[in-house]
């Protein structure tokens, strides 16, 4: 099918708000009450039906080249339920025939039949939340699965026909040494996944783990060690054929990068469906109610479950472009930036960038401005320095 629309293809994100168990470090919205699953599914299909021609996606008729089923834990849904979601999305939206259709799965919740069913339903990319191949780490993270489950899920996904497979790993776990992290990386690359996401463990406020940290129930990993693990990750993965393209993301080739996630870092439009999901298009943003109950109730009255909408100011858009641009190894495209905001990057940011350049944290080459490997470690502080300049 040809893309009949002029506009750049958009992405669809579907949030499945259920988890078997709440991991103590996680701040994504999810509930463990599975009794709401069917009501949620019905509401989700209603949201697609009602939302297809409404909201700020109405003016430009978008086509979609990605459908990302995330969460929460999408793999608490069986293949028939995932198939219903994909079919309904295809009925309501112009989804291109070569769309990337991803599902996130938790190794503790999948069976070979289920994985075959997902593939059959049209899912062509699978992302497995392995986090670690070591039981002690999984226990600390409060995961429901074992290292054995992780190995099995990867093999079963390959057997089910998934040729585009991504693994998520976490480092910076208390007690983890460089040797132990390298052992996890070795195990991961042995499966030749097309994609790897390596996240540094962070303590988000409001999570159980952050609370435990504040109460001194464990000692967080040493900052210098975590910084070394970040650099080790990049070097190790480069040596094994993976190129970093975003702070935490690596792919075996450009075509195996997450097409969907790149939309978040390139200002591309995306539509979020399900509780707490965000949508963005043409400087406008809106987000759904977080509560599954409120989400279901609102849709049952024929209304979209939108909690709030906002139109970004020019200043907010500049800040977002800096924030998302610097996450990518490519960095900010200076020409595009100047054109988009009718401004001069050098004039508004040059003075702030220079000292960071001298410290080797930021680099400029021709048309790009990007963080060095060391600069990525200080992403938050660098962004706040640059953003401060824009606000002044």
CA–CA distance, 322 with 237 (Å, rounded to integer): 26
247 burial type by CB count under 10 A (0-12 exposed, 13-18 middle, 19+ buried): buried
Q: Is the CB of 128 or the CB of 376 nearer to ligand SF4? A: 128
Q: Is the CB of 106 or the CB of 261 nearer to ligand SF4? A: 106
Report the half-sphere exposure of 95 (CA within 13 A, side-chain side): 22
The binder of ligand SF4 chosen from 63, 106, 258, 298 (CB under 6 A): 106
Phi, psi of 42 (to 5 degrees): -60, -45
The binder of ligand SF4 chosen from 3, 7, 28, 220 (CB under 6 A): 28
Q: How far is the CB of 104 from ligand SF4 (least distance, A)?
A: 8
Three-class SS of residue 96? strand
Angle at the Cα of 387 from the Cα atoms of 223 and 283, rounded to 5 degrees: 115
Task: Judge contact between 166 and 194, C-beta under 8 A.
Answer: yes
Q: Is the CB of 129 or the CB of 305 nearer to ligand SF4? A: 129
Q: Is the CB of 127 or the CB of 233 nearer to ligand SF4? A: 127
Q: How far is the CB of 207 from ligand SF4 (least distance, A)?
A: 10
Q: How far is the CB of 22 from ligand SF4 (least distance, A)?
A: 5
Q: How far is the CB of 206 from ligand SF4 (least distance, A)?
A: 13
19 lines the binding site for ligand SF4 (CB under 6 A): yes
26 lines the binding site for ligand SF4 (CB under 6 A): yes
Q: Is the CB of 144 or the CB of 319 nearer to ligand SF4? A: 144
Q: Is the CB of 130 or the CB of 251 nearer to ligand SF4? A: 130
Q: In what order do the strands lie in the sheet with 306-311?
A: 243-246, 249-251, 195-200, 165-171, 125-131, 94-105, 63-71, 10-16, 270-273, 278-281, 284-288, 306-311
30 lines the binding site for ligand SF4 (CB under 6 A): yes
Phi, psi of 185 (to 5 degrees): -65, -40
Range in contact with ligand SF4 (rule: CB under 6 A) among 36-44, 68-76, 88-96, 350-358: 68-76
Beta-strand runs (E) in 240-387: 243-246, 249-251, 270-273, 278-281, 284-288, 306-311, 332-333, 362-365, 368-371
By CB under 6 A, the residues from 145 to 164 that bind ligand SF4 are none
Q: How far is the CB of 23 from ligand SF4 (least distance, A)?
A: 3
Three-class SS of residue 288? strand
Q: Is the CB of 72 or the CB of 193 nearer to ligand SF4? A: 72
Q: How far is the CB of 200 from ligand SF4 (least distance, A)?
A: 15
The binder of ligand SF4 chosen from 66, 73, 92, 164 (CB under 6 A): 73
Beta-strand runs (E) in 93-155: 94-105, 125-131
Q: Is the CB of 71 or the CB of 193 nearer to ligand SF4? A: 71
By CB under 6 A, the residues from 339 to 368 that bind ligand SF4 are none
Task: Judge contact between 373 and 234, C-beta under 8 A.
Answer: yes
Q: How far is the CB of 25 from ligand SF4 (least distance, A)?
A: 7
Angle at the Cα of 370 from the Cα atoms of 366 and 371, rounded to 5 degrees: 145
Site string for ligand SF4, 112-131 (x = CB under 6 A): -----------------x--
The binder of ligand SF4 chosen from 10, 16, 23, 376 (CB under 6 A): 23
Task: Judge contact between 150 and 128, C-beta under 8 A.
Answer: yes
| Binding-site ranges for ligand SF4 (CB under 6 A) | 19, 22-23, 26, 28, 30, 71-73, 106, 129
């Amino acid at each position: 099918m040809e893309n009949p629309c002029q506009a750049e293809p958009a992405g669809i994100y579907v949030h499945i708000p259920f988890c078997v168990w709440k991991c103590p470090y996680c701040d994504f919205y999810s509930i463990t009450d599975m009794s709401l699953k069917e009501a949620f599914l019905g509401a989700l299909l209603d949201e697609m039906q009602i939302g297809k021609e409404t909201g700020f996606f109405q003016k430009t008729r978008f086509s979609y080249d990605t459908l990302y089923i995330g969460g929460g834990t999408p793999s608490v849904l069986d293949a028939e339920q995932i198939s219903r979601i994909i079919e309904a999305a295809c009925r309501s939206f112009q989804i291109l025939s070569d769309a990337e259709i991803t599902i996130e799965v938790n190794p503790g919740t999948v069976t070979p039949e289920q994985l075959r069913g997902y593939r059959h339903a049209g899912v062509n990319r699978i992302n497995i939340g392995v986090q670690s191949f070591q039981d002690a780490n999984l226990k600390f993270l409060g995961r429901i699965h074992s290292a054995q489950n992780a190995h099995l899920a990867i093999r079963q996904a390959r057997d089910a026909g998934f040729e585009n497979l991504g693994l998520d790993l976490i480092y910076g776990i208390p007690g983890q040494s460089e040797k132990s992290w390298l052992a996890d990386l070795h195990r991961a690359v042995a499966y030749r996944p097309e994609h790897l996401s390596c996240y540094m463990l962070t303590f988000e406020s409001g999570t159980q783990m952050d609370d435990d940290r504040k109460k001194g129930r464990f000692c967080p990993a040493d900052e210098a060690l975590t910084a070394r693990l970040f650099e080790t990750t990049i070097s190790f993965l480069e040596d094994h054929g993976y190129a970093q393209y975003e702070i935490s993301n690596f792919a075996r080739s450009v075509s195996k990068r997450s097409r969907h996630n790149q939309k978040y870092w390139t200002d591309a439009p995306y539509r979020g469906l399900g509780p707490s999901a965000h949508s963005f298009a043409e400087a406008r943003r809106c987000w759904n109610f977080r509560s599954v109950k409120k989400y279901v109730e609102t849709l049952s009255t024929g209304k979209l479950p939108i909690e709030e909408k906002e139109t970004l100011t020019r200043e907010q858009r500049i800040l977002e472009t800096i924030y998302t641009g610097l996450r990518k190894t490519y960095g900010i495209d200076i020409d595009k930036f100047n054109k988009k905001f009718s401004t001069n990057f050098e004039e508004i940011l040059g003075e702030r960038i220079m000292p960071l350049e001298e410290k080797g944290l930021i680099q400029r080459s021709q048309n790009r401005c990007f963080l060095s490997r060391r600069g990525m470690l200080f992403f938050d502080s660098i962004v706040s320095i640059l953003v401060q300049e824009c606000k002044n």
